[in-house]
Amino acid sequence: MEDKEFERVGGTLTIKTDVKIIAATNLDIEKAIEQGTFREDLYYRLNIIPLMLPPLRERKDDIPLLAEHFIRKICKDLGVETKRLEPGVLDLFARYNWPGNVRELEAMLHRAIVMSNDETITRNDFYGLFAELGSGGSRGPVPMPTSLLNPLVGKMDITSDVYDEVMSSVDRQLIERALETSGGRIREAARRLGLARNTLKARF
């Protein structure tokens, strides 16, 4: 980094280059340096112009633009017409704490777009998120929608095979939901479900 030179792995030719390096981390760098898990000399070589990006909960004015960007991107990736949010959904987004940060917002929108059968994404497509919000914005148990299984169960011949299949499906949905709301962090998702990390990975 100082000399602007490098050699390819296995190579012997020294190559000169002129680049700008942008590095990002969610670590507490100063603490990592104290613990010896991050090289201090590397930190000072990288730390020329530090940019501190606050978490999404501290910059909620960005949510409308981010939501619009992710909706366009996800719909394009899925090959579907661009959907729109029901009026009022952004107000509910603003009340949520977003522990999984921007990644959680993207995952939440992705799930809603996939699950929605209409061109408008409604509050019902985010039932887990808004159930946690409640009336005062506090987090709490997420009630299972009564419509999730009742129509399906009412048409089934109840057997042990059916029981295993239905329970496996619900189990996977809960795990996917936990991963979404924890920003894809397996350890945090396991904690929320009360499972061991290895148990969650085995079930998923």
The overall pTM is greater than 0.85: no
CATH number of the domain to which 161 belongs: 1.10.8.60
Residue 3 backbone zone (phi > 0: left; psi -120 to 50: alpha; other: beta): alpha
Task: Report pLDDT for 64.
Answer: 93
User: How many domains, in total, are found in the chain?
Assistant: 2
The verdict on 21 and 66 lying in the same domain is no
pLDDT tens, 106-148?
988 988 888 777 888 888 777 655 555 543 444 433 444 444 4
The verdict on 41 and 70 lying in the same domain is no
Domain coverage including residue 178: 56-203
pLDDT tens, 156-168?
566 666 666 666 6
Output 195 or 90, whichever has higher pLDDT: 90
Give Cβ neighbours of residue 113 (< 8 Å, ≥ 6 apart).
Answer: 71, 74, 75, 78, 80, 83, 121
pLDDT bracket for residue 150 (50, 70, 90): very low
Task: Report pLDDT for 132.
Answer: 52
Task: Report pLDDT for 144.
Answer: 46
Domain membership flag for residue 119: yes
Task: Report pLDDT for 69.
Answer: 95
Domain membership flag for residue 181: yes
137 phi and psi, to 5 degrees? 85, 5
The verdict on 135 and 155 lying in the same domain is yes
The verdict on 41 and 113 lying in the same domain is no
Output 196 or 11, whichever has higher pLDDT: 11
Residue 160 backbone zone (phi > 0: left; psi -120 to 50: alpha; other: beta): alpha
The verdict on 35 and 72 lying in the same domain is no
pLDDT above 70 (res 99): yes
Task: Report pLDDT for 157.
Answer: 65
Domain membership flag for residue 134: yes
Task: Report pLDDT for 172.
Answer: 75
The verdict on 124 and 199 lying in the same domain is yes
The verdict on 14 and 87 lying in the same domain is no
pLDDT tens, 56-85?
989 999 999 999 999 999 999 888 889 999
Half-sphere exposure of 145 (CA within 13 A, CB side): 14
Task: Report pLDDT for 162.
Answer: 62
The verdict on 19 and 108 lying in the same domain is no
- Helices 186-193 and 160-181 cross at an angle (nearest 10°) of 120
Task: Report pLDDT for 128.
Answer: 58
The verdict on 31 and 61 lying in the same domain is no
The verdict on 101 and 174 lying in the same domain is yes
pLDDT tens, 12-70?
999 999 988 999 888 888 899 999 999 999 999 899 898 888 889 899 999 999 999 99
Domain membership flag for residue 80: yes
Domain membership flag for residue 22: yes
